[in-house]
Structure 1
Amino acid sequence: MIFPTQAAAEPAGGLAGWIADVMAALGGPGAGLVVALENLFPPIPSELVLPLAGFAASQGSMNLVGAILWTTLGSLVGAVVLYYLGALLGRDRTRAIAAKLPLVKTGDIDKAEAWFARHGVKAVFAGRMVPIVRSFISLPAGVERMSMPVFLAFTALGSLVWNTALVLAGYLLGRSWWIVEGYVGVFQKVVIVAAVVAVVWFVAARLRRGRRVRT
């Protein structure tokens, strides 16, 4: 089966073409495989993979429910790999690395750990629906050794919500599935800008505090 893109009815190749080929060859399991890779390698965007899976379901290449379940399973597999990477890194190594960063103090690390202890479950659930964050939220969960059943449950639930929305959008839009990527891409840019603003604010505030202490 051939998948269209915004520019042409039949993509000549590129990332979308590769994803289409994997899904065409493997069906639902192929969609799950690509989503697992997307979790591990954020440059593979879910806003491209999931609507494509929905479009494939609309064309009869896979079942709609199967597309949602396979992609959610792929999300879960990718998240578990990152969880264990975080667990392997460990709390002590993470604190040691963070303590060596410029302008970062031990108190900042303590506050981050306390925040995750209070809000980790909500962060894991909501983080699965935020571009970029959806990949990296599993790392602190592993570092802090969040209960695996709890991690699996809320990762699966958050992934199910996100995947269902994007797969269903691709299914309903049909050959216009690429519209989803544009809207989610805007959301991703907002997330990136917000992260940059937060970092700039943190650095500026820490520098101002340092100058006050010296004077």
Structure 2
Amino acid sequence: MDAILPFLHNLTDPDWLVAHGGLYLLLFIIFAETGILVGFFLPGDPILFIAGIIIANMKIDPTQQLPTLLYWITLICVAAIIGNFVGYWSGKYFGHRLLKMKDNFIFKKQYIYKAQEFYERQGGAAIILARFLPIVRTFAPIVAGIVGMNFRKFAMYNIIGAILWVVSLVTLGYLLGENAWVQQNLEYVILGIVLLATAPVIIKALLGKRQPIKSSIAKEKAY
């Protein structure tokens, strides 16, 4: 834990990210957070916003900024899409083993149960909405694989969700990246971005009618 907290703090520092891998590190983080079980704690939303800030402050020809922005967005979208595909296939082929694992610091079965509840409430659109919810976005594709969601349907929602998530946050970071106030108050801005990204989904979940859920995953717990 003592090592993780400083690492997470460094991930919100654009200069640190540039010095320790830049785009390659960003791609790995997005891939890991959206597809690898142990990546749920990584800060995907702040990373995307900071990616935009990095591009806005690059010392390059102004005519190259837009192509660079599009290049980064494309690669990050690909990383997010591949990450969810990995999560889906992990759930499809190893889901039952995951449900038999004992809870530990890295993995807790309640994350999967919560992701499935969200998935069953929202239907296929949950794959899109989950992109804007920390932790849920890691486990939603795994749940989709476990419950056997149609792969073509999953692929469509996966691609749409990745594009909406990446384009919105990276572009926002790019547009605000050169603002002095934003640079001086980056931690507060990042917190605000996370709240804004998750608020619509959380409000919808809280205001929606609660219906009984017959969870096929939860039934595994009884065996």
TM-score, normalisation: structure 2: 0.60
CA change 1:57–1:16 in 2 (3 A) is: farther
Partner deviation per Cα, 1:1-34 (whole Å, 9 max, x = no partner): xxxxxxxxxxxx7435357445455443432212
CA change 1:180–1:156 in 2 (3 A) is: farther
Larger radius of gyration: 1
Larger deviation: 129-138 or 56-65? 56-65
Partner deviation per Cα, 1:66-102 (whole Å, 9 max, x = no partner): 2212221221222122212211234xx38x86xxxxx
Instruction: Give the aligned partner of residue 149 of structure 1.
Output: 152
Cα distance in structure 1, aligned partners of 2:177 and 2:138: 27
Equivalent position amino acid for 2:86 in 1: V
Is 2:190 aligned against 1:181?
A: yes
Decide which of 123, 127, 130 is 2:130's aligned counterpart: 127
Instruction: Give the aligned partner of residue 89 of structure 1.
Output: 94
* CA-based RMSD: 3.8
CA contact 2:133–2:198 (8 Å) conserved in 1: no
Instruction: Give the aligned partner of residue 62 of structure 2.
Output: none
Decide which of 24, 48, 51 is 1:50's aligned counterpart: 48
Cα distance in structure 1, aligned partners of 2:134 and 2:11: 21
* Deviation of the 1:168 alpha carbon: 1.2
CA change 1:137–1:172 in 2 (3 A) is: same
CA change 1:189–1:54 in 2 (3 A) is: closer
* Deviation of the 1:188 alpha carbon: 7.7
Instruction: Give the aligned partner of residue 30 of structure 1.
Output: 25
> Which consecutive unaligned segments of at least 5 residues does structure 2 have?
1-5, 60-64, 101-112, 207-211, 213-223
TM-score, normalisation: structure 1: 0.62
Cα distance in structure 2, aligned partners of 1:126 and 1:194: 11
Equivalent position amino acid for 1:50 in 2: L
* Deviation of the 1:53 alpha carbon: 0.5
* Deviation of the 1:60 alpha carbon: 2.3
Partner deviation per Cα, 1:44-80 (whole Å, 9 max, x = no partner): 1122211110011112278111221222122122212
Cα distance in structure 1, aligned partners of 2:128 and 2:134: 13
CA change 1:146–1:180 in 2 (3 A) is: farther
Percent identity for Structure 1 against Structure 2: 25
Larger deviation: 149-158 or 136-145? 149-158
Equivalent position amino acid for 1:166 in 2: L
> Which consecutive unaligned segments of at least 5 residues does structure 1 have?
1-12, 98-108, 197-201, 203-215
Is 2:158 aligned against 1:163?
A: no
Find the residue that maps to 2:132 and give its secondary structure: coil
Cα distance in structure 1, aligned partners of 2:149 and 2:22: 33
Equivalent position amino acid for 2:88 in 1: Y
CA contact 1:36–1:77 (8 Å) conserved in 2: yes
CA contact 2:132–2:197 (8 Å) conserved in 1: no
Cα distance in structure 2, aligned partners of 1:139 and 1:158: 15
Equivalent position amino acid for 1:145 in 2: G
Larger deviation: 181-190 or 129-138? 181-190
Equivalent position amino acid for 1:82 in 2: G
